[in-house]
Structure 1
Amino acid sequence: MTSKKFFKSVSVKEALDEISKIASNYSINTETLEFYNATNRVLATDIISKENIPNFNRSRMDGYAVKFDETTGSSETMPSIFNIVGNVEIGSSPTFSINNGECAYVPTGGEIPKGANSIVMIENTELISDSELLVYKSTSFNENITLKGEDISINEIVIKKYTKLNSFHIGVLASMGITEIPVLKKPTVSIISTGDELVSVYKKNLQGTEIRDINSYCLKSQLENIGCIVNNISIVKDNYDSLKKEILKTIDNSDFIIMSGGSSVGERDYMNALLSELGEVLFHGIRMKPGKPVLFGTINNKAFFGLPGNPVSCALAAELYVSSFVFSLNNITNKKLFGNFKLDTNLHSFPGKTTFQMVDINDGIASPIMGRSSMIKMLANSKGYIEIDESIEGLYKDSDVNVTLFK
């Protein structure tokens, strides 16, 4: 199959739109988990309550249950007087009712006796005997009472489909007695690093021009952080047939493939040709710096990402495009963290290209980390990045800049 675009650059937005289209064609399977194992998983259906929470009217604080209108006009100088007819115990329903002129002690969380419609805080009362109470402040209807179903009501959608569950959602599920929930299965991905110079990270003594495979493990960490399962990591030499064999071996067992290195237009950069033969190239090249030679397409209707070999370019491309793909698969918004900071120096950009500048953050100041995209320490020192639109020529010192923060 021929390529649609051979190093014909698209904009960042066009690239994201193309990636989103492919993600929308996927059908992600589901699995059922115990609710306490579902943190950071994506909910596959709406969670609808089958009961009211609370299931009874309960007191919000320690006090006395009364009829609210009988406290009207109560004050320090003219208190109302009530007969105490009982005490409510936590976990037990009261066996008595409140009639005119009567009250009962109710602890925080205790059930409100029938006939009562307000709770007087204990600090606004005074016992004058074991059976009589003075009330020094008037109350309103349902004051200090949480009504039945006020928190969660029957048939209410409590957690919406495609929500990424956090610890608070787990607590809500526990409150409703929902112990098993359907979630989307984690997408599976294979990572292929290509380059004659690459060797295992476990090799201790490098020889000649050997370089340890950085990108695979940086990508693995990024992918697992956004909810993927990395089921294969491999290093393949810059050989067309070897790369083709590895792609065909992994494609059936993965939801998508990432290859780092070989995405440019050098003599031994085979990625475009491979994807053209095995599937379809949707774009090759994005108007951005660093990271221009990003390639994207499909093989057997599965997404294929070709990322640059330079570590910074590779990590940034994964942050921008692979994460967007994964979030689209899960039908959730890519919730990036942003912060507004002062720029501590003039910053050059590249008109006609969207510029991404790695920065360090200290005391509200964003400091650009200068260096080439092959410099490994840029990754470790970066707290986030500034995105400069392709129409802007640069930013001045002391400009307010919006920084996308790494999680």
Structure 2
Amino acid sequence: MSEATGSREFFTARTVSEALAGFRPARRSAVERVPLAAALHRVPAAAVASPSPLPGFVRSTVDGYAVRAADTYGASEGLPSYLDLRGAVRMGAAPDVTVTPGACVAMPTGGVLPEGADAVVMVEYTAATMPGTIEITRPVAPGGGVVRADEDVAAGAALVPAGRPLRAPDLGLLAAAGVTDVAVHARPRVAIISTGDEVVPSSTVDLGPGQVRDATAPALAALVLDAGGDPVQAGIVDDEPGALTDRLSEVLADADLVVVSAGSSVGARDETAGAVAAVGEIWCHGLAIKPGKPTLLADCGGVPLIGLPGNPLSALVVFGQIGVPLLWRLSGCDTPPPLPVTRARLSRDLASAAGRLDVIQVTLADGVAEPLFGPSALLSVLARADGYVVIPEPATGLPAGTEVDVIGHR
């Protein structure tokens, strides 16, 4: 994976697809039970089985009349069938009437089908021609206008699967089955460390010569939150030898993922790699991605670590491509939820290199994607972008006018 040359180590860059396929730590966050009100977007640790069938009784799907289907055969507007009205079903109550041959019962949508009936005729195909008599102008087949007691979910069937983030309809289905809480993976704890003598807290009012406020850590924390994680900002570590190693040893004890925003110079990257190597095993040092090539991935005793470039734009792009899928995996989800995508035409040619993934920030207007360019130190490029276009690794560029997917920022 690497070879020593003097005091320096050179690592072969991996492609992003190799990283996504090969860097797959077995670690998963702990399991906890949460009420449904707190379960949106959480990932079930196991499939949840229905304790009973749903809806649990044969019910009407339309307003109309419960009938024996055989009594409606041959009915038409020119030759309707006439049935005796024997009463009505009330919502939320068991029927107190039986449908006998030649009779019908008024039904509300969702009402319990009374004994003797096997279908419901929609009210639109009926008429009350005289008191106590209902005219039927269209036949109905057995089972028409009703759902079976287990048609929604059979008893013991999975209400929601394991490994897929819970959505609003999932919570509704769980509630309908009487499930009030669910076992989910805890939000992965993500320790975020910034490094560099020049980096100072974002709350710093007056900057000294050469100092920069820490913009990367708050932005990374927001990406972690958006992907269902629990960000822990572990502060700024200066460039003193051994300081980063000490901080890594501290945070690894209580983290599911560690993210280090390193300096952009070669020396700073070497210092980060040395500190990581002291507490774990480096999987790769360098990704074939632009921006963000000086990225490090490591396994530190079962806890994955991502060493990001120091430039904010590069750091956030790489975390979106590598960190977010990894974070979802840690929370028990192997396939991250899709991001919003808009189809648009490129306004200009985009160059790329085969074997490298290029992530280009763009603005959108009238179906046209306009690329934004600038140094990777400029966070304003990301802030102005509506989304980004990915040029895949095999491609050598995209010509103007190409239809592309613009992946939206959230």
Give the counterpart letter for 2:388 in structure 1: Y
Q: How many Å separate the matches in 2 of 1:314 and 1:187? A: 20
User: Relative to structure 1, is the Cα distance of residues 229 and 142 closer, same or farther in structure 2, using a 3 angstrom cutoff?
Assistant: same
1:366 aligned residue:
369
Q: How many Å separate the matches in 2 of 1:365 and 1:288? A: 24
* Match among 4, 17, 27 for residue 13 of structure 1: 17
Give the counterpart letter for 1:189 in structure 2: V
* CA drift at 1:264: 5.3
Q: How many Å separate the matches in 1 of 2:134 and 2:221? A: 67
Secondary structure of 1:328's match? Answer: helix
2:236 aligned residue:
235
Secondary structure of 2:217's match? Answer: helix
1:244 aligned residue:
245
Structure 2 runs not aligned, ≥5 long: none
- What is the correspondence of 1:183-332 to structure 2 with a 5 Å cutoff? 183-262=184-263, 265-266=266-267, 269-329=270-330, 330-332=332-334
Give the counterpart letter for 1:83 in structure 2: D
For residues 333-378 of structure 1, give each alpha carbon's deviation from its aligned partner in whole angstroms, at most 9, with x where no partner exists.
Answer: 0233333210001112234432221111222211100111111111
Q: How many Å separate the matches in 2 of 1:233 and 1:12? A: 27
Secondary structure of 1:182's match? Answer: strand
Q: How many Å separate the matches in 2 of 1:206 and 1:143? A: 75
- What is the correspondence of 1:6-405 to structure 2 with a 5 Å cutoff? 6-20=10-24, 23=25, 25-262=26-263, 265-266=266-267, 269-329=270-330, 330-337=332-339, 338-405=341-408
* CA drift at 1:387: 1.9
- Does the 8 Å contact 2:194/2:217 carry over to 1? yes
User: Relative to structure 1, is the Cα distance of residues 119 and 296 closer, same or farther in structure 2, using a 3 angstrom cutoff?
Assistant: same
Give the counterpart letter for 1:13 in structure 2: S
- Does the 8 Å contact 1:191/1:232 carry over to 2? yes
User: Relative to structure 1, is the Cα distance of residues 312 and 180 closer, same or farther in structure 2, using a 3 angstrom cutoff?
Assistant: same
For residues 57-86 of structure 1, give each alpha carbon's deviation from its aligned partner in whole angstroms, at most 9, with x where no partner exists.
Answer: 111111111111111121222111111111
- Does the 8 Å contact 1:263/1:270 carry over to 2? no
Secondary structure of 1:109's match? Answer: coil
Query: What is the aligned residue count?
Result: 403
Secondary structure of 1:252's match? Answer: helix
- Does the 8 Å contact 1:65/1:119 carry over to 2? yes
User: Relative to structure 1, is the Cα distance of residues 352 and 332 closer, same or farther in structure 2, using a 3 angstrom cutoff?
Assistant: closer
Q: Which region of structure 1 is more displaced relative to structure 2, 352-361 or 310-319?
A: 352-361
- Does the 8 Å contact 1:264/1:293 carry over to 2? no
Secondary structure of 2:10's match? Answer: coil
Give the counterpart letter for 1:363 in structure 2: D
* CA drift at 1:144: 0.9
- Does the 8 Å contact 2:221/2:232 carry over to 1? no
TM-score for the superposition, normalised by structure 1: 0.94
- Does the 8 Å contact 1:43/1:163 carry over to 2? yes
- Does the 8 Å contact 1:311/1:376 carry over to 2? yes
Q: Which consecutive aligned stretches of 4+ in structure 1 deviate over 4 angstroms post-superposition?
A: 2-5
TM-score for the superposition, normalised by structure 2: 0.93
- Does the 8 Å contact 1:48/1:159 carry over to 2? yes
- Does the 8 Å contact 2:76/2:139 carry over to 1? yes
CA RMSD of aligned residues (A): 1.8
The sequence identity of aligned pairs, in percent, is: 30
User: Relative to structure 1, is the Cα distance of residues 18 and 239 closer, same or farther in structure 2, using a 3 angstrom cutoff?
Assistant: farther
* CA drift at 1:404: 2.7
For residues 306-338 of structure 1, give each alpha carbon's deviation from its aligned partner in whole angstroms, at most 9, with x where no partner exists.
Answer: 100111100001001111211222233023333
User: Relative to structure 1, is the Cα distance of residues 223 and 148 closer, same or farther in structure 2, using a 3 angstrom cutoff?
Assistant: same
